[in-house]
Amino acid sequence: MKKLVFLVVAIIFGFNLINAQDEEKEKDKPVYESFRAGTIIDNQTVFIPEKRTLEMVLQHRFSPMNNGISDIWGIFSPGANIRVGFNYVPIDRLQIGYGLTMNRMYSDFSAKYAILKQTRKNVVPVFVTAYGNMAIDGRSDEVFGDNYKFSNRFSYFGQLIVGRKFTDWFSFEVNGSFSHYNSVAPGNDHDKIGVGFDGMIKFSPQSALHFMYNIPLKIQSVSEYKTDNNEWLDYPQPSIGIGYEVYTGGHYFQVYITSAKGILPQHISMLNENDWTEGTKAVMVGFTMNRFWMF
């Protein structure tokens, strides 16, 4: 009889211990849907899908909008830029990816890791995610001059992103980045440090507004070149964007206006010539489509 009582007490205690552990885990669950995809217009977000998720990303830039209705504000104009990419999450918090961009025929290999995740009880107040890529320029050898080496094709980008979901309808993040090109045109820097921010304003379970702004910093110790009158070069220019998203679970679609013709982040950070204050000749329509599969 004593053994039976002891067994019952042990089982009850064990269930209580398991429930207490489950409740503790419940307290520390990550915040849900701070952002709903890995990109927001031109920027990376803190978002990484669940483990064993395969993501296809289609990114498209049309031409500048300055011709108005004659080419449907650049949509029917030649000169579009397209990137097709695939990302996979082999383990929790880690995403790896590959993409091919029409501009310069970049092939890019990327990795993204969630260092911290904001929790529902605010035990961890922010998301912190690291992103990096290496791209290979696919243009002909002649583009790189007489002293061509295969390493001239390489460029790199690294970024740290800190984000927070403030309310059910508003998320915001800031980023700091470093870009490097092994080979650049005369008068261009090899390196660039940048900062930026972006956000999402959700107004329905499926829909939201986006905004973003990226600033390439003018740091004397990093820059190699200035103009003859000791003023900074006219580029790279800051990039700005505003857009609208529709989310259906398996699909994620954004349409936006952006001042960056490039798609790869190092290209935008170091080579963006469009000054958005000049109006329609410096901005263009773009869209991004994401498709998710679980394996």
CATH of residue 61's domain is 2.40.160.40
Domain contains 280:
yes
The backbone torsions φ and ψ at residue 240, rounded to the nearest 5 degrees and listed phi first, read -135, 150
* Nearest-angstrom CA–CA distance, 176 and 135: 19
Residue 119 is assigned to a structural domain of this protein: yes
pLDDT band at 10 (very low <50, low <70, confident <90, very high): very low
pLDDT greater than 50 at residue 108: yes
Q: Does the pLDDT at position 178 exceed 70?
A: yes
Q: Name which of 52-61, 122-131, 188-197, 247-256 the model is least confident about.
A: 247-256
Any domain includes 272? yes
pLDDT exceeds cutoff 50 at 21: no
Residue 182 lies in a domain: yes
**Domain presence at residue 32:** no
**pLDDT band of 241, cuts 50, 70, 90:** very high
Measure CA of the first residue to CA of the last residue in the chain; give whole Å: 51
Model confidence at 70: pLDDT above 60: yes
Q: Does 284 map to a domain?
A: yes
Mean pLDDT score of the chain: 87
Point out the least confidently predicted range of 38-47, 49-58, 196-205, 248-257: 248-257
Q: For residue 17, what pLDDT is reported?
A: 47
Over residues 190-196, mean pLDDT: 95
pLDDT tens digits along 225-235: 655 544 555 66
pTM here? 0.86
DSSP class per residue in the chain: -HHHHHHHHHHHHHHHHHHHHHHHHHHTPBPS-S-SSSEETTEE-S----TTEEEEEEEEEEEESTTGGGGTTTTTSS--EEEEEEEEEEETTEEEEEEEESGGG-EEEEEEEEEE--BTTSSS-SEEEEEEEEEE--S-GGGG-TT--GGGGEEEEEEEEEEEE-SSSEEEEEEEEEEEESS--TT--SEEEEEEEEEEEE-SSSEEEEEEEEEE---TTT-----TTS---S-SPPEEEEEEEEE-SSEEEEEEEES----SHHHHHHH----GGGGGGG-EEEEEEEEEEE-
Average pLDDT over every residue of 126-146: 94
25 is a domain residue: no
Residues 119-129 have a mean pLDDT of 94
In a domain, 275, yes or no: yes
Is the pLDDT assigned to residue 113 strictly greater than 90? yes
Q: What is the pLDDT of residue 16?
A: 53
Number of structural domains (the chain) is 1
8 has a pLDDT exceeding 70: no
Q: Domain range for residue 52?
A: 39-294
Report whether pLDDT(5) > 70.
no
